[in-house]
Structures are given as structure tokens and as C-alpha cells.
Copies of this chain bind each other. A is one copy, B any other.
Amino acid sequence: MTAADRVYAIIKQRILDGQYAAGSYVREATIGQELELSRTPIREALRRLVSDGWVEVIPHHGARVVSWTQRDVEEVFELRVLLEPQVVRRAASRIDAPRLDSLGELACHMEQLCERGDAQAIDEIATLNDRFHAELITAADSPRLQRLLEAIVQVPVSRRSFHHYSDEELYGSMRHHREIIRALAAGDGEWAASVMRAHILAARAAQLHPPARHAQQPRQQRIRSAR
């Protein structure tokens, strides 16, 4: 692992932690002194962060942590609604039994974590959910599709989205996972794509309209205790 790799990981982590706030500048010299490195590896790390969409460079002025507006989030969901169904549409005719089993285990593990329901469990669900989608992308076997999705699905958004979920939304998400697996096992790409589309649209609804949940809170409680 090179110094540039480490710098890349460190800066990215600090952006995720909120240590580097959106809109603030990441100074090459500052990081360099702190990590006792020259500007060269820092620059390379910053360029990679730019191409990954984490920071933007203003020529001769600096690298700024990107700010996410509501509009940005909507744009990403709009594209995910197109691309993620395509992932499973392709995967349906290409996935093999071992990977299906692997998906099943991930779904099972996520469901168990759902039962716990605490904040840490939510975090773990988010991690497993990422792996679930990553498995699907691998099964889809389309490097370009993978690249496009990696380019737009920024972890800070997807990671936090689970915390916005109501119990109903969370369990709905788990049911989607199961149904996607069934559709893939059946080799039915359109079925899988439809479920995935619903899956993404549900995520968007939870992300964009969290206040609506409050009015339904009592009903969710009933559903939760009913399981």
C-alpha cells in the first residue's frame, strides 16, 4: 500500500466522519505536514477523490469537499432507479448457485440484525446491504455498469439512509431482498428488476420524505410488536 493510498483512505474517512465538513477546503500542505509526507502523494489522493466525486478542485485554489443538496440526492436516486434494476436483469441469466446461496446468507444475517434494531445493528445492516448489492453487481458481469454505479452511489447517502427507515420500511427492504433472490433463482430478470425498482423507490421515499413517517408511528409500533 502506497502513501497515496493511505492518504486517500484517510481523507475519505474524515469526510465520512464529518471531520472535513462539506464545502471546506482540503489543503495539500496541511495534510502533508500532518502526515509527514510531501505534497505529491496528497495530490494524487486528491485527484482520485475528485474522480470518485468526493471533492471538487477549483484550479489554483484548492480541493473542496463536495456539498450534497437535496437535488443531488434526487439525481442519484433517479439514476439508481434506472441502473440497479438493470443489474438484476442481467444477473438473472448469469448468477450461479453459490452466489445465490451467498445472497441468501446475507439476507438472513440482515434479518437477524433487524430483530435487534439498535443503532449499531443498523450500521451492520448497511454494511451487509452494500455487500448484497456488490454481489449482485458482480453477478451482472458488466464492468461499465459497475463503474457507473460506483460513480454515483456515494456511501454517505446510502449509509445514513437506513437510519431514516421506519420499522415498516426496514422490514419491507428485507422482503425485497428475499423476493429479488427468488426472482433470480427463477431466472426471471424482469421480475427481479421490478422488485429492485421498488426497492430503490422505497429507499428514495424514506430518504426524501422522512417527516411523513411520524404520523404513522403508532401503526408501525403495532406492526413491530406483531411480528
Contact = CB atoms under 8 A, between A and B. Distances in A.
A144 interface: yes
Interface string A59-92: 1000000000000100110110011001000000
A47 interface: yes
A48 interface: yes
Interface stretch (A28-36, A126-134, A145-153, A168-176): A145-153
B75 A2 contact: no
A211 interface: no
Contacts of A59: 1-2
Contact of A75 (B1, B83, B142): B142
Contact of A47 (B48, B83, B143): B48
A225 interface: no
B79 A148 contact: yes
Given A47-B48, A51-B48, A76 B144 contact: yes
Contacts of A152: 144, 148
